A and B are shown apart, each in its own frame.
Chain A
Amino acid sequence: MLAFALKRLGLAVLVTFTVSAISFSLLHLSGDPATAIAGENATEADIAAINEQYGFDRPFAEQYAEWLWNAVQGDFGQSYYFKLPVAELIADRLSVTMTLGVCAISFALLTAVPLGVLAAIRPNSLIDRIALFISVAGQAMPSFWFGLIMIVVFSIKFRLLPPSGSETWRHFIMPTIVLGYYAMPAIMRLTRAGMLEVLNADYVRTARAKGAGAGRVLFKHALRNAIVPVVSLSAVQMGFMLGGSIVVESIFALHGAGYLAWESIGRHDLPTVQALILIFSCFYILFTLLSDLANAWLDPRIRVG
């Protein structure tokens, strides 16, 4: 188990560095950062001065090394737009995104797992068909459009929920549903498929032969095994979700990290964008790492080699 964890950790670190190198080079090779800071009316002298000040005239590898060295220490440089340390800027916004992410994954799990289990217990029943419809529709639903429709219905027509902002818990209801619905179909399908397989497993028959009741067979013997892949999928979905929060946050003007990313991209605020890409990647890497470890812990075949 320890060897497995260490190996997995090493891979995670390596992936993180590679992602940082790729995103740094993409952003730095594709645009001219000095022009972005100086604005369109800048003279050549202005640009030269900025180049000198920010060190854009130095070799690329040197810039990357310096940025990475600082980033590892938690210093992501100054925002071109806010003229504030990027780290502070993001730390401020991250809690909103994390709240949204946790709410959304909880919403997805709380709806998808029971639906998937019910659908698997009675295949081809009405509930199975409803679950299938919800998941198929969810996969095709553009989340930004779903968000707008929710605003039209719940904020404008019925005036039940605030359309934008992040002040109270009521502001989080619609974003949670929109972002959660995005992750739900995959979780539901996996739960259903896993339960179907497990309910036909020999050990479930053994449990029934022992005289275990339906509930005990379902939860203790079947779900316990079917849930293992769902745990790892949820972690992956959580990673994707934080990345996808950019769309949802911009619709509901939820002032989180995703909203900051969208604004910063529009302002060509490279250090902020760079840091956000790296942070979102790190979250994904961290969640998949945790899910692999959780999987190993949940599945004795990995835990006790």
Chain B
Amino acid sequence: MNDPILNVKNLTVDIPVSGGTLHAVRGIDFELNRGETLCIVGESGSGKSLTSLAVMGLLGKRLQVRADKMEFEGRDLGSMPQRQMQALRGDRMAMIFQEPMTSLNPAYTIGDQLCEALRLHRKVSKAEAMARAADLLGKVGITAAESRLRQFPHQLSGGLRQRVMIAMSLMCEPDLIIADEPTTALDVTIQAQILRLLADLKREMNMALILVTHDLGVVARIADKVAVMYAGEIVESGSAKEIFDAPSHPYTRGLLNCIPVPGKTKPGEPLGSIPGIVPSLIGDVSGCAFRSRCNQAIEACASTVPERSAGGEHKYRCIHTQLTSEVA
């Protein structure tokens, strides 16, 4: 069990736009083992959703996806024919999307859509599929599963629909689940329930989970590993403990400063914020993309930035070796 279930090396995603190429994801690496949760953190436009869609092979033909290595259970996803990719999707790896309100087809019942996920990959009867669907709906905490199966998406609340999406991703007992901001569109109270559910299911079924989010609070709760993305790059990665105990990249520190900590943050004290905006990624990008917003930036930041190790798996990309002063 030492081989990682997902091993990605130097993944890039280029988007042709008028006036050049948008380098949306610029050479990222990550590994994930069975039973682990990887949280990909970053603000919108940092390329974290594109990364997850690239792994699933769900990006349009217009987008160019390249990688030195993109292995799932030892098989290379990059060179895999469309048909085999299709067979993997929904079976060995499944995905949960951000918008539960629009991610279910309005024309079919919950039951039909759940069954489809199973029957695309397994030769089972409709009744068997329905039984499994009902079983899983119960597992994701939906009561009266039998009657829910006959309902249409518009009859369910957002939280329920996201539970349905989770159940749908579990239909074939996948080895990997990618959840792209699964709680962003939901109420705060529901968010916590959905996250706990995901974490529990992952443990119970011994799956790997990639959770894409911009919410560090979420990360702190369930991550084993964290990858912080900024402008298409992973600027810092490591175990959750390493990242939270010793954030080494100025951007990670900035992110952590944005969260109020009960007891530490005094009432009335302004919360941290990172000034500036994400730079344009059209055309050639060189140096540290964060330098325009970083208060530690020096001239050398415009040239190549080294990847440094902070011990163990903990890595970050910054010109500075030791950041002693706090980032404001």
Complex contacts, B227 vs chain A, CB 8 Å:
none
The answer to whether B99 has its CB under 8 Å from any CB of chain A is: yes
The answer to whether A148 has its CB under 8 Å from any CB of chain B is: no
Q: A272 to chain B: closest CB distance in Å?
A: 45
Complex contacts, B89 vs chain A, CB 8 Å:
208-211
Complex contacts, B105 vs chain A, CB 8 Å:
203, 206-207, 221, 224-225
Q: B96 to chain A: closest CB distance in Å?
A: 9
Chain A interface residues toward B at CB < 8 A = 201-203, 205-213, 221, 224-225, 298-301, 304
- The residue on B at minimum CB distance from A228 is B107
The answer to whether B95 has its CB under 8 Å from any CB of chain A is: yes
Complex contacts, B106 vs chain A, CB 8 Å:
203, 225, 299-301
> A210, A213, A224: which has the most chain B beta carbons within 10 Å?
A210
Stretch from B115-123, B264-272, B317-325 at the A interface: B115-123
Complex contacts, A209 vs chain B, CB 8 Å:
56, 58, 89-90, 94-95, 97
Q: Is the CB of A206 within 8 A of B107?
A: no
**B102-120 contacts to A (CB < 8 Å):** 102-107, 109, 116-117, 120
Complex contacts, A205 vs chain B, CB 8 Å:
58, 97, 103
Q: B311 to chain A: closest CB distance in Å?
A: 37
Q: A17 to chain B: closest CB distance in Å?
A: 36
Given A203-B104, A299-B107, A300-B107, A208–B152 Cβ distance below 8 Å?
A: no
Chain B interface residues toward A at CB < 8 A = 56, 58, 86-91, 94-95, 97, 99, 102-107, 109, 116-117, 120-121, 151-152, 154-155, 165, 168
Q: B168 to chain A: closest CB distance in Å?
A: 7
Q: Is the CB of B107 within 8 A of A210?
A: no
Complex contacts, A213 vs chain B, CB 8 Å:
86
Question: Does more than half of chain B's interface fall in helix, strand or loop, or is it mixed?
Answer: loop
- The residue on A at minimum CB distance from B109 is A300
Q: A203 to chain B: closest CB distance in Å?
A: 4
Q: A59 to chain B: closest CB distance in Å?
A: 54
Complex contacts, B165 vs chain A, CB 8 Å:
206
Q: What are 24 inter-chain pairs, A to B, with CB distance below 8 A?
A: A202-B97, A202-B103, A203-B102, A203-B103, A206-B97, A206-B165, A209-B89, A209-B95, A210-B116, A210-B120, A211-B120, A212-B86, A224-B105, A224-B107, A225-B105, A225-B107, A298-B107, A299-B106, A300-B152, A300-B154, A301-B152, A304-B151, A304-B152, A304-B155
Q: Is the CB of B97 within 8 A of A211?
A: no
- The residue on A at minimum CB distance from B95 is A209
Q: Bound state CA distance, A301 and B109, in angstroms? A: 11
Q: Bound state CA distance, A202 and B161, in angstroms? A: 13
Q: Is the CB of A212 within 8 A of B116?
A: yes
Q: Bound state CA distance, A58 and B165, in angstroms? A: 72
Q: Bound state CA distance, A213 and B90, in angstroms? A: 12
> A206, A225, A298: which has the most chain B beta carbons within 10 Å?
A206
Q: Bound state CA distance, A211 and B155, in angstroms? A: 26
A203-B104, A224-B105, A225-B105 known, 12 other contacts, Cβ within 8 Å: A202-B103, A206-B105, A206-B168, A207-B105, A208-B89, A209-B97, A210-B90, A210-B168, A225-B106, A298-B107, A299-B107, A300-B109
